[in-house]
């Protein structure tokens, strides 16, 4: 039972809410396009999103334990891993197995939708699997790929992939909401790297804060954060999204304040976790409001 509990903890369950919000965004856009997915299809895409998110968390925990990185990080509630495997090494094989089985579940669900909708789903499917498998071991060695990969997985792969899986099609609305999710998620993961710069550099990682320093990386994070709202505003202005989707702009004043806080405290390990928490809340709140706006607008 202890190994089971440790495996669950290593999935970082408090962060798994991001995947359902992204999948839900794909669902509501597909329905707005006129798709009429069956209940089991909705359940399967939601399960696939959750399994994909859990798989990358489990594999990341296992790889960071094996590399020794988990023993070197100064953990915060939002970075540095869960600390599960250093505390319970016997659970390592359980965590690896959970990651592999979750990935297998994603493949099987994807195969079903490819059979149902056609080979077009191979593109987001193969890309999503590659991101899960390659993220920790390879993509974190490249500043550009490490920056773009998280948002690519939760944005175009998860949101647009859900639309296609449920019988929808790619249009300007899908591209807009996928890009919003991409920018917000990549910005979140970028900020979460700040506390681990020294430990990551010592264990082979090479991401943007290591390459250019926390201060300049913080400015990149602010640009991505505010850029997500700029994309949303543009989509509203040209009519790609319904006016009700404008409710997702409500957190913008908080985002501006958040951006100033990230830049001001990116080098302050005692203050940064507060801003990291606000960052998570801003992302989740914006995606939730975007879901609500699309539903109300159509």
Q: Are 37 and 30 in contact (CB under 8 A)?
A: yes
Report the percentage of the chain scoring pLDDT > 70: 100
How does residue 170 score in pLDDT terms, banded at 50, 70 and 90?
Answer: very high
What pLDDT does residue 77 have? 83
Residue 1 confidence (pLDDT) above 80: no
Which residues have CB under 8 Å from 212's CB, separation 6+? Answer: 143, 220
Nearest residue to 290 (alpha-carbon basis) of 226, 228, 221: 228
What pLDDT does residue 83 have? 87
Residue 73 confidence (pLDDT) above 90: no
How does residue 75 score in pLDDT terms, banded at 50, 70 and 90?
Answer: confident
Which residues have CB under 8 Å from 296's CB, separation 6+? Answer: 242, 244, 247
Q: Give the model confidence (pLDDT) of 109-151 as tens digits.
A: 999 999 999 999 999 999 999 999 999 889 999 999 999 999 9
What total of structural domains would you count in the chain? 1
Q: Give the domain range for residue 148.
A: 2-297
Number of residues that this document lists for the chain:
298
Q: Which token pair is 213?
A: 């320093």
How does residue 81 score in pLDDT terms, banded at 50, 70 and 90?
Answer: confident
Burial classification of residue 175, based on how many CB atoms lie within 10 Å of its CB (0-12 exposed, 13-18 middle, 19 or more buried): middle
What pLDDT does residue 269 have? 85
Q: Which of 73-87, 106-120, 215-229 has the lowest average pLDDT?
A: 73-87
Residue 80 confidence (pLDDT) above 90: no
What pLDDT does residue 270 have? 87
Q: Which token pair is 135?
A: 């993220």
* Average of per-residue pLDDT values in the chain: 95
CA–CA separation, 174 vs 177, rounded Å? 5
For the entire predicted model, the pTM comes to: 0.96
Burial classification of residue 227, based on how many CB atoms lie within 10 Å of its CB (0-12 exposed, 13-18 middle, 19 or more buried): middle
Q: Give the model confidence (pLDDT) of 3-43 as tens digits.
A: 899 999 999 998 999 999 999 999 999 999 999 999 999 99
> Which CATH number covers residue 102?
1.10.600
């Amino acid at each position: 039972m202890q190994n089971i509990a440790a495996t669950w903890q290593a999935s970082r369950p408090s962060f798994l809410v991001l995947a359902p919000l992204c999948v839900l965004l794909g669902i509501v856009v597909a329905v707005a396009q006129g798709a009429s997915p069956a209940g089991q299809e909705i359940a399967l895409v939601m399960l696939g999103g959750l399994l994909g998110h859990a798989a990358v968390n489990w594999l990341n925990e296992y790889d960071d334990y094996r590399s020794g990185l988990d023993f070197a990080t100064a953990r915060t509630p939002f970075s540095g891993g869960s600390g599960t495997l250093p505390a319970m090494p016997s659970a390592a094989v359980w965590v690896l197995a959970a990651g592999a089985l979750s990935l297998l579940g994603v493949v099987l669900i994807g195969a079903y939708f490819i059979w149902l909708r056609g080979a077009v789903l191979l593109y987001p499917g193969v890309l999503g699997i590659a991101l899960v498998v390659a993220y920790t071991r390879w993509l974190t060695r490249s500043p550009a790929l490490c920056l773009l990969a998280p948002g690519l997985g939760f944005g175009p792969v998860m949101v647009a992939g859900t639309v296609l899986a449920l019988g929808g099609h790619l249009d300007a609305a899908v591209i807009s909401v996928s890009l919003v999710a991409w920018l917000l998620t990549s910005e979140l993961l970028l900020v979460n790297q700040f506390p681990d710069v020294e430990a990551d550099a010592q264990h082979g990682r090479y991401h943007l804060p290591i390459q250019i320093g926390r201060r300049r990386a913080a400015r990149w994070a602010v640009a991505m954060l505010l850029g997500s709202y700029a994309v949303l505003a543009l989509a509203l202005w040209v009519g790609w999204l319904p006016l009700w989707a404008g409710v997702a702009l409500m957190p913008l004043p908080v985002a501006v304040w958040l951006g100033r806080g990230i830049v001001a405290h990116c080098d302050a390990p005692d203050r940064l976790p507060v801003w990291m928490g606000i960052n998570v809340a801003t992302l989740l709140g914006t995606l939730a409001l975007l879901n609500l706006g699309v539903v109300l607008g159509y």
